[in-house]
Amino acid sequence: MHLSIRNLYKTFDDFVALDRISLDVGDHDFICLLGPSGCGKTTLLRIIAGLMPFDGGALTMGDTDLAAIPARERGFGIVFQSYSLFPNMTVAENVAYGLKIRKESSDAIQTRVEALLEMIKLPHLAERYPHQLSGGQQQRVAIARALAVDPALLLLDEPLSALDARVRVEMRAEIREVQRRLGIPTIMVTHDQEEALSLADTIVCMNQGRIEQTGTPEDLYLRPRTRFVADFVGQSNLLPTAWVREACPECLDGRPDGKDEAFELCIRPEMVALSRDETAEGRVTDISFLGNVTRLQVAWRGRALAAEISGPCGLRPGDAVAAALSSGAWVRT
Amino acid sequence: MSALVELKPRRPRLTAADRLLLAVSIGVPLAGLALFFLYPLATIAARSLSVGGNRLGFGNYLAVLSSPGIAIATWNSLILSLATTAICLVLGFAIAFALQRTRLRGRGLVAVALALPMLAPSLVQGLGILFILGRNGLVHKWTGLPVDAYGFSGLLFSDVLYALPQAVLILEAALRHSDARYFDAAEVMGASRLRQFFDITLPNARFGILSAGFVVFTVTITDFGNAAVIGGNFRVLATEIYAQVSGQMNFAMGAVVGILLLLPTVVAVVIERVATQRQFGGGSESAIPVTPDSLPARDVPLGFLVHGSALTVIAVVATVVFASLVKLWPYNLSMTFKNYNITVAGGYAPLATTLEVSLFAAVAGVVLLFLLAFAMKRLPPKLAKAAYLAAVLPVGVPGMVLGLSYVFAFNLGDNLLGMLYGGSLLIALCNFYHYHSQGFLTMMTGMRTVPPALEEAVSCLGGGLAAVLKDAVLPFIGATAVSVFFFLFMRSMVTLSAVIFLITPNLSVAAVSVMRLDEAGFVSQAAAFSTCIMGTVLGALVVMRLALRRAARGRA
């Protein structure tokens, strides 16, 4: 089944929360809605879930119009940032909840719950209560509860944001694996670009209620189309056309036609090549060593450039360096 | 931009069962409020303005204002309430300060004193003072002095005892919210302790002081019990309204005085609400609480004052219990249970009625308040605002006024509502709506602890509103519901001011019995009956503690 969103429009009083959003979610897609807080990503997820009405456009699943169908009848699974397990039910009862509502036989429920707990690797915790579990374990249970009813669509609302950094990375891999295995179309909301890049088949980058760009993680990183995406996904040097014309005329290749102010050149820090050269005009102004990479600030032709070198660099602040820019993408401002 | 978008609002429809549940949760409580609160109030207002036939006018008001009796009662009420407020604020602040900012010992004693007014009808203080300071009191017996507690000083004393604990609770809350960093900064800058008190402690508590002042003023000016027992010839508005209606059958006068009694309360409630909103608007989320310290020069005198006040509150109530157990107060102090053999004024039947009324008020109250609080979140904002206003309005209406308005609204033989009059059901409803606001606000606070995501999780898993109620809301609100239940129950057990107008020769409640026994001169029996009421409420309190502990364990 294929979820299709066409020109979806949503306002709160006079504030436009979602401005003509169109999006397709295929059978096995893992889609990340990525954007800063307040960009409308959670609103979009809640509308898809049926937890919020919308003001215009269409929302369909296959041939079914979802607009009038309440959340309880959509048959989607949802996982919240706050885990939201029933505090008065055991792990097993939590996972079984949706099946009980669907009045499945208790044998069927038990088999299903056991299989799910096996899948999330917590079969030994079936009789525990949520408050006896760690955050990561609670979130696994919440995912199992959402999956128990064979949802047509899995919705994840910042599911990893409340977890410790290390647990978050582990859970990322688990979510990806489970989603691949079950092939359930999944939409996840996140403001963490690393999470989106590592998990998604398709990233939908949102800003101020609009979609800035939809594409694969590579698309968004290597070929950002707008200044916002270049800035939000990864780090970048954003260089004005006039400066590029002066400082690096060869980089003008591939620039779309348009006024000077309409486009900027996005160069990722690792695409700035530096070499020590006593006669060169570049100057290292700042160095931060981060272990696997070293980040440098370089003053070059009247601008401060961010550069990144893998491993230690052997340079010191004040050293003279030559800089070469390559593989940029022209972005709309 | 939006002109390019075809606007067609799409809202997921509710299933029929959910729509029904929502309609019931909002419809029934609001209908109740309209019928048993707004309608009676409108009736009393109309009655106060009706001047014969169908004409309206201020004739009744002019008559009341020009009658010397009412003028005196108004003056007396004002003086009494102001004096009570002043004393309660000074004493109450000292006690609250001692509890919050010093390492006072013997806090248990103070806690008992603070809990007493919840347990006892408001006439118990008056009764106790009569036992000690009355014409046949202990002091007279021991010293032979011609003491007389009836009148202004006795009433002032009993009102202070009644209102002081309520003032302390509010002032304690105000002092609890202060930030230690202000004091650290002042200390570093070299301010003396006294300066810190006047520059930081007092100004920071000013809204609490204001709020406590209004609460004390309101409960004093509208209190009926103590005025009836110990007021003597010192007439106040609350006793005047009762005399006009019950004694002289002057309903129009009663209605006018009722509306007048509404004024100070309404003003007080409005100002207090504005003040508390501002208070919390200025507070910081991450305040560091002030650590209590000890300073003998301050704490020893303060300790005497605090424990002296607490002991007085307890002693007066304890005297009532003690007096109920002796043969002939104060001349023959040998113990007996004969005072508990009450046969006049219906014997113990009113206590049974009160128990039944209180249980009903608490059960119906919890269900209605729960439904209303549950529905509030699911209403369109405008309707929710109106419902909220209606739900918190009762706190501004004194019990006497509510009771009197019930007379006007329901004492009619000729319609369906009239059938309620003279029954215990109407008394229960009156008690519930009398304390509706406090119960509602508590329930709303409890409702705020329900995580919204959990409710949504139920919906996404396929559960309807009923499942949301059962699995997401109830587990979180159980403890709140228990405390609202017992709040309504206990208030209903001891309240006098509203129900005084609703009793009939065949149907009375416990607090009225105490008053009747006292009026008839059976003071020892009145004491015995009071003790029975307090015992019942205390029993309920113990049950509540156990129930709450079990609820807490259930969640853990």
Q: Is residue A146 part of a domain?
A: yes
User: C-alpha distances in angstroms, A71 versus A48, B15, B202?
Assistant: 9, 11, 53
Structure confidence by residue, pLDDT tens digits, B83-113: 999 999 999 999 999 988 888 888 888 888 8
A50 contacts in chain B (CB < 8 Å): 12, 459-460
Interface TM-score (ipTM) > 0.85: no
Structure confidence by residue, pLDDT tens digits, B417-472: 777 887 889 999 999 999 998 899 889 988 888 888 899 999 889 888 889 988 99
Distance (Å, whole) CA B489 – CA A312: 74
> What single letter denotes the amino acid at residue B201?
T
Distance (Å, whole) CA B331 – CA B265: 43
> With an 8 Å Cβ cutoff, are A67 and B12 in contact?
yes
Residue B395 gets which letter from DSSP? G
B482 and B390 belong to one structural domain: yes
A57 and A185 belong to one structural domain: yes
B361 and B496 belong to one structural domain: yes
- Can you say how many angstroms the Cα of residue B489 is from the centroid of all Cα atoms in its chain? 12
Q: Is residue B60 part of a domain?
A: no
B471 and B503 belong to one structural domain: yes
The percent of residues in chain A predicted with pLDDT above 70, rounded, is 100
Q: Is residue B208 part of a domain?
A: yes
> With an 8 Å Cβ cutoff, are A53 and B5 in contact?
no
Residue listed under structure tokens 């070059």: A300
pLDDT at B282 > cutoff 50: no
Return the closest-CA partner of residue B110 out of B304, B322, B320: B304
Q: Is residue A83 part of a domain?
A: yes
Last residue of a domain, one of A224, A251, A273: A224
A285 and A175 belong to one structural domain: no
**Torsion of Cα atoms, A195 then A200 then A206 then A210, to 10°:** -170
Length in residues, chain A = 333
> With an 8 Å Cβ cutoff, are B475 and A80 in contact?
no
Pairs of residues, one from chain A and one from chain B, whose beta carbons lie less than 8 Å apart: 119
pLDDT at position B343 is: 76
Min Cα separation B464/chain A (Å):
7
> With an 8 Å Cβ cutoff, are B457 and A20 in contact?
no
Distance (Å, whole) CA B473 – CA B17: 18
Q: Which of B10, B13, B459 to mutate to test the interface with A (most CBs of A within 10 A)?
A: B10
Q: Which of A15, A16, A47, A84 to mutate to test the interface with B (most CBs of B within 10 A)?
A: A84
Q: Which of A5, A8, A9 to mutate to test the interface with B (most CBs of B within 10 A)?
A: A9
Name the strand (E) or helix (H) holding B372.
Answer: helix B349-376
Q: Which of B460, B471, B550 to mutate to test the interface with A (most CBs of A within 10 A)?
A: B460
Structure confidence by residue, pLDDT tens digits, B460-495: 898 888 899 889 998 888 888 988 998 899 889 988
pLDDT at B553 > cutoff 70: no
Return the closest-CA partner of residue A204 out of A239, A233, A165: A233
A8 and A97 belong to one structural domain: yes
A191 and A256 belong to one structural domain: no
B274 and B181 belong to one structural domain: yes
Structure confidence by residue, pLDDT tens digits, B283-314: 444 567 777 877 788 888 899 999 999 999 99
pLDDT at position B287 is: 66
Last residue of a domain, one of A224, A256, A289: A224
A62 and A182 belong to one structural domain: yes
The distance between the two most distant Cα atoms of chain B, rounded to a whole number of Å, is 95
Q: What's the token pair of residue B461?
A: 């898993």
HSE (CB half, 13 Å, CA atoms) of A114? 6
A64 and A157 belong to one structural domain: yes
B482 and B539 belong to one structural domain: yes
Return the closest-CA partner of residue A184 out of A51, A25, A58: A25
A320 and A262 belong to one structural domain: yes
Last residue of a domain, one of B280, B297, B330: B280
B122 neighbors B496 (Cβ within 8 angstroms): yes
CATH (domain of A317):
2.40.50.100
A135 touches chain B (CB under 8 A): no
User: Could you give the number of structural domains in chain B?
Assistant: 2
Interior angle at CA B385, CA B384 and CA B386, nearest 5: 95
B35 and B154 belong to one structural domain: no
pLDDT at A284 > cutoff 90: yes
Last residue of a domain, one of A164, A191, A224: A224
B20 and B87 belong to one structural domain: no
Task: Categorize the per-residue pLDDT at B359 as very low, low, confident or very high, splitting at 50, 70 and 90.
Answer: very high
> What single letter denotes the amino acid at residue B191?
A
Q: Concatenated DSSP letters for B459-515?
A: HHTT--HHHIIIIIIHHHHHHHHHHHHHHHHHHHHH--TTGGGT-BTTB--HHHHHH
Q: Is residue A37 part of a domain?
A: yes
Distance (Å, whole) CA B324 – CA B526: 8
Which domain range does residue A188 map to?
3-224
Q: Is residue B510 part of a domain?
A: yes
B216 and B171 belong to one structural domain: yes
Q: List strand residue ranges (DSSP E) for B148-203, in order.
A: none
A84 contacts in chain B (CB < 8 Å): 451, 453-454, 456-457
B115 and B147 belong to one structural domain: yes
Last residue of a domain, one of B260, B280, B300: B280
Interface of B with A (CB under 8 A): 1-2, 4-15, 18, 451, 453-454, 456-464, 467, 471-472, 475-476, 554-556
Q: Who among B10, B467, B554 is closest to A54 (CB)? A: B10
Last residue of a domain, one of B243, B258, B280: B280
Min Cα separation A84/chain B (Å):
5
Q: Is residue B333 part of a domain?
A: no
B474 and B505 belong to one structural domain: yes
Mean pLDDT of B258-282: 69
Distance (Å, whole) CA B496 – CA B224: 7
Residue B7 gets which letter from DSSP? E
Distance (Å, whole) CA A165 – CA A8: 34
B156 and B30 belong to one structural domain: no
The percent of residues in chain B predicted with pLDDT above 70, rounded, is 94
B80 neighbors B231 (Cβ within 8 angstroms): no
Q: Is residue A308 part of a domain?
A: yes
Q: Is residue B164 part of a domain?
A: yes
Return the closest-CA partner of residue B370 out of B251, B214, B484, B466: B484
B422 and B380 belong to one structural domain: yes
CATH (domain of A39):
3.40.50.300
Min Cα separation B19/chain A (Å):
12
CATH (domain of B215):
1.10.3720.10
Q: Is residue A280 part of a domain?
A: yes
A200 and A60 belong to one structural domain: yes
User: What does the H/E/C string look like for chain A?
Assistant: CCEEEEEEEEEECCEEEEEEEEEEECCCCEEEEECCCCCCHHHHHHHHHCCCCEEEEEEEECCEECCCCCHHHHCCEEECCCCCCCCCCCHHHHHHHHHHHCCCCHHHHHHHHHHHHHHCCCHHHCCCCHHHCCHHHHHHHHHHHHHCCCCCCEEEECCCCCCCHHHHHHHHHHHHHHHHHHCCCEEEEECCHHHHHHHCCEEEEEECCEEEEEECHHHHHHCCCEHHHHHHCCCCEEEEHHHHHHHCHHHHCCCCCCCHHHEEEEECHHHEEEEECCCCCEEEEEEEECCCEEEEEEEECCEEEEEEEECCCCCCCCCEEEEEECCCEEEEC
Residue with more model confidence, B368 or B395: B368
Q: Is residue B322 part of a domain?
A: no
User: Could you give the number of structural domains in chain A?
Assistant: 2
Which domain range does residue B230 map to?
65-280
A2 touches chain B (CB under 8 A): no
Mean pLDDT of A227-245: 91
Structure confidence by residue, pLDDT tens digits, A100-137: 999 999 999 999 999 999 999 999 999 999 999 999 99
A101 contacts in chain B (CB < 8 Å): 461-463, 467
A44 and A75 belong to one structural domain: yes
Mean pLDDT of A170-191: 92
**Lowest-confidence region among B37-46, B159-168, B243-252, B310-319:** B243-252
Question: Cβ contacts of residue B192 below 8 Å, gap of 6+?
Answer: none
> With an 8 Å Cβ cutoff, are B454 and A84 in contact?
yes
User: C-alpha distances in angstroms, A17 versus A56, B54, B330?
Assistant: 12, 56, 77
pLDDT at B556 > cutoff 50: no
A72 and A26 belong to one structural domain: yes
Q: Is residue B336 part of a domain?
A: no
Q: Is residue B91 part of a domain?
A: yes
**Lowest-confidence region among A3-12, B201-210, B298-307, B349-358:** B201-210
Q: Is residue A159 part of a domain?
A: yes
A219 neighbors A213 (Cβ within 8 angstroms): yes
Task: Please tell me whether residue B29 adopts helix, strand or coil conformation.
Answer: helix
A75 touches chain B (CB under 8 A): yes
Q: Is residue A229 part of a domain?
A: no
A144 and A248 belong to one structural domain: no
B474 neighbors B443 (Cβ within 8 angstroms): no
A293 and A186 belong to one structural domain: no
